[in-house]
């Protein structure tokens, strides 16, 4: 009896354990008796079907009614086929619970037989609810597809604590394409073996620094290869379980290139606004293109008088080659640049050795190993050609979209710079013509005043003197004649002063230094301050327009001192400095305001413009000890006719200076 009870207790325990196992695994068991039609379900199978355990009797018909309508016929055929052929069977089916939810089951069964072993009596088997597992698997497949198809490279690296080495564990497809790492051959490689270029970067330390306290670290830009044109990546390292570290790479090459080009464009425009030379601006544009497009030799040519190309800027092209094509006339088959300027359209020559456009110029390019040349015309706002922007290569090369975009943007900025400088030159030439016409007009007026009016006043004074000598009475006529004579003298002096201010004859008849000394003395007497002229130029005769421009700059500077400086003492220095004329006007007045010396003053702008036309510069700045200093430094210019040898100056005799400058 005790043994029976023990056996019964042991059976109940096993049944309980079996029930728990079924609950954990979502596995229900069933049995169908064909003769009676009764179906027996385990408690877990009731729960899988959304029913309370043993809440109702189960029949084959009830079971089939809960199978999803789309699967019902197939399941029925599976059961009939199993009964006919015997043995085991398996299928997947969907069921619909009473609440309308759909679950997916994996069903495995086997045919049972009577004692004779041939007559089937029913079916027995299990059904496992795999709905949640399928959902997890689907999510995993989805995530796997996303990881494999995403444009971000992902790799997993295992950290060896003993050696502090990171070894590759896994990689997605994008990572293989972006980095060139073949997952089949690179598993187990260290970070340095996979990417030798990272040795000099922050990447190894970045990855080793990732831990629970710092689960993620970023590196804005990193290159994993040293090869020219290797992409730039934004790197994110993140901690994973079991001492593994994830590495996410995003290719930011185009983004970084766009940022660099934008900066270069802005810098070129800033240089343009600041008055930098066209050569410096174009050289900066060429340099950034060569930086952004590896193996590129860039150049800019400008179009002279609509016919000839002139060398303007290049960084890496041989000077001998640039000199050989300088001045070439554009045409329908004149290399890449000459043809692009002629057509007013881009020309992309893939191979110079075979392209007919280079038939007459191939021998010029061959000694320097130039094999491909892409050229795009630089156009003005009205569409006329200003020049060309070219990209050379030492191997045959087809045009690339990103490179073409870069060259187009560079050509646009170069066009702005060239057109602006051409406009500046035209404005400067116009201003020079206006100044020359004004000087001619002043000279003419001064001559007319001096000659005609001066002579008339002199004649009047002589007539007054004659009348005074022949007076016949004493009725105040003598006094009046004396006053008239004095007035005539004053008018003659006024005429001489006005004539000199319009165009001082001393500037033409003596020298620039003499004219400056005379003007300084005149202004000092009128303004009431002291002027000290320290000149070493002597009586050197300079080109008339040059001397006039320097004198006008001096006049404007002295006028500013009179009007604004409240100065008591002014020092004027005039001399030679390594083949250039140097003029300095310094005062002890209130000084120009900071940070710039009355930049809105038309007088100061005129001084700078005159100096620029002379090929020099005029700088106005505040003195540390108080007051203002105006400094002019311009290359010397002499009259075209030969001059006799003059006395030596601090830089040697004038003839020697002229030879050095011209």
Crossing angle for the helix pair 401-448 and 544-560, nearest 10 degrees? 90
> How much is the pLDDT for 597?
41
Average pLDDT of the residues in 30-45: 88
Q: Comparing 258-427 with 506-661, is the CATH topology the same?
A: no
Confidence at 642, pLDDT banded by 50, 70, 90? very low
558-594: burial string, b at 16+ Cβ within 10 Å, e else: bebbbebbebeebbbbbbbeebbbbbbbbbbbebbee
> How much is the pLDDT for 592?
77
Confidence at 364, pLDDT banded by 50, 70, 90? very high
Average pLDDT of the residues in 203-224: 82
> How much is the pLDDT for 373?
94
> How much is the pLDDT for 358?
95
The CATH class given to the 150-251 domain equals alpha beta
Percent of the chain having pLDDT more than 70?
78
Its CATH architecture, for the domain 19-129, is 2-Layer Sandwich (3.30)
Between CA 293 and CA 227 the distance in angstroms is 13
Out of 3.30.70.100, 3.40.630.40, 3.30.565.10, 3.30.430.20, which CATH number does the structure's domain 506-661 have? 3.30.565.10
> How much is the pLDDT for 11?
52
- Kindly report the average pLDDT of the chain as a whole number: 80
Q: Tell me: the pLDDT tens digits for 418-445? A: 888 777 766 666 665 666 666 556 665 6
Higher pLDDT, 409 or 599: 409
Evaluate if residue 234 carries a pLDDT over 80.
yes
> How much is the pLDDT for 101?
92
> How much is the pLDDT for 610?
82
> How much is the pLDDT for 522?
81
pTM over 0.75: no
Domain positions in the chain are 19-129, 150-251, 258-427, 506-661
Burial of 168 (0-12, 13-18, 19+ CB in 10 A): buried
Out of 3.90.1150.10, 3.30.450.40, 3.40.50.300, 1.10.760.10, which CATH number does the structure's domain 258-427 have? 3.30.450.40
Q: Please list, in sequence order, all residues whose beta carbon lies within 8 angstroms of the beta carbon of residue 417, skipping any fewer than 6 positions away.
A: 268, 272, 278, 281, 282, 285
**Gyration radius (Cα) of the chain, Å:** 49
Confidence at 5, pLDDT banded by 50, 70, 90? very low
Average pLDDT of the residues in 524-551: 85
Of 64-73, 321-330, 483-492, give the lowest mean pLDDT range.
483-492
DSSP letter (8 states) at residue 299? E
Evaluate if residue 328 carries a pLDDT over 80.
yes
Evaluate if residue 451 carries a pLDDT over 60.
no
Evaluate if residue 521 carries a pLDDT over 60.
yes
Evaluate if residue 105 carries a pLDDT over 90.
yes
Evaluate if residue 479 carries a pLDDT over 60.
yes
Q: Tell me: the pLDDT tens digits for 609-620? A: 888 888 888 888
């Amino acid at each position: 009896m005790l043994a029976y009870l023990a056996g019964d207790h042991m059976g109940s325990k096993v049944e309980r354990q079996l029930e728990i196992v079924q609950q954990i695994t979502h596995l229900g068991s069933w049995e169908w008796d064909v003769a009676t039609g009764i179906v027996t379900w385990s408690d877990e199978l009731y729960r899988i079907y959304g029913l309370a355990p043993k809440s109702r009797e189960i029949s084959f018909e009830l079971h089939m009614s809960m199978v999803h309508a789309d699967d019902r016929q197939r399941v029925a055929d599976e059961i009939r086929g199993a009964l006919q052929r015997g043995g085991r069977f398996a299928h997947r089916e969907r069921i619909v619970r009473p609440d309308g939810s759909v679950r997916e089951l994996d069903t495995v069964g086997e045919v049972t037989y009577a004692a004779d072993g041939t007559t089937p009596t029913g079916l027995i088997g299990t059904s496992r609810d795999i709905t949640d597992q399928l959902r997890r698997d689907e999510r995993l497949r989805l995530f796997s597809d996303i990881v494999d198809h995403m444009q971000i490279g992902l790799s997993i690296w295992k950290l060896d604590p003993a050696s502090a080495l990171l070894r590759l564990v896994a990689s997605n497809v994008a990572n293989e394409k972006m980095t060139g790492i073949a997952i089949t051959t690179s598993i187990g490689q260290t970070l340095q073996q996979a990417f030798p270029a990272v040795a000099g970067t922050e990447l190894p330390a970045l990855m080793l620094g990732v831990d629970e306290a710092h689960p993620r670290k970023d590196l804005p830009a990193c290159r994993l290869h040293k090869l020219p044109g290797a992409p730039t990546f934004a790197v994110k390292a993140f901690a994973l379980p079991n001492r593994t570290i994830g590495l996410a790479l995003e290719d930011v090459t185009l983004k970084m290139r766009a940022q660099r080009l934008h900066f270069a464009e802005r810098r070129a425009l800033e240089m343009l606004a600041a008055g930098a030379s066209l050569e410096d601006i174009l050289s900066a544009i060429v340099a950034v293109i060569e930086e952004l497009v590896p193996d590129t030799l860039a150049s800019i040519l400008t179009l002279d008088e609509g016919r000839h190309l002139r060398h303007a800027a290049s960084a890496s092209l041989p000077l001998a080659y640039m000199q050989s094509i300088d001045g070439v006339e554009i045409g329908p088959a004149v290399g890449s640049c000459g043809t692009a300027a002629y057509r007013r359209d881009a020309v992309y020559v893939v191979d110079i050795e075979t392209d007919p456009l280079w038939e007459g110029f191939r021998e010029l390019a061959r000694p320097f190993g130039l094999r491909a040349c892409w050229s795009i015309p630089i156009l003005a706002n009205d569409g006329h050609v200003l020049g060309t922007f070219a990209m050379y290569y030492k191997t045959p090369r087809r045009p690339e979209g990103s490179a073409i975009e870069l060259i187009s943007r560079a050509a646009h900025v170069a066009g702005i710079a060239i057109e602006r400088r051409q406009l500046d030159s035209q404005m400067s030439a116009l201003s020079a013509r206006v100044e020359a016409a004004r000087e001619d007009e002043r000279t003419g007026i001064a001559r007319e005043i001096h000659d005609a009016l001066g002579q008339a006043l002199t004649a009047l004074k002589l007539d007054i003197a004659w009348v005074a000598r022949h007076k016949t009475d004493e009725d105040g006529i003598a006094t009046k004649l004396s006053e008239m004579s004095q007035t005539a003298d004053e008018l003659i002096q006024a005429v001489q002063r006005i004539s000199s201010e319009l165009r001082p004859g001393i500037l033409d008849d003596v020298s620039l230094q003499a004219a400056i000394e005379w003007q300084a003395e005149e202004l000092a007497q009128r303004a009431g301050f002291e002027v000290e002229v320290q000149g070493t130029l002597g009586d050197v005769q300079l080109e008339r327009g040059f001397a006039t421009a320097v004198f006008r700059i001096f006049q404007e500077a002295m006028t500013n001192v009179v009007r604004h400086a409240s100065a008591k003492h002014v020092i004027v220095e005039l001399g030679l400095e390594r083949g250039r004329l140097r003029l300095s006007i310094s005062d002890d007045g209130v000084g120009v305001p900071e940070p710039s010396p009355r930049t809105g003053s038309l007088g100061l702008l005129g001084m700078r413009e005159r100096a620029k036309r002379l090929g020099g510069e005029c700088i106005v700045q505040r003195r540390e000890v108080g007051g203002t200093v105006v400094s002019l430094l311009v290359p010397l210019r002499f009259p075209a006719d030969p001059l006799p040898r003059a006395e030596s100056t601090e830089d040697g005799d004038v003839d020697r200076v002229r030879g050095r400058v011209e």
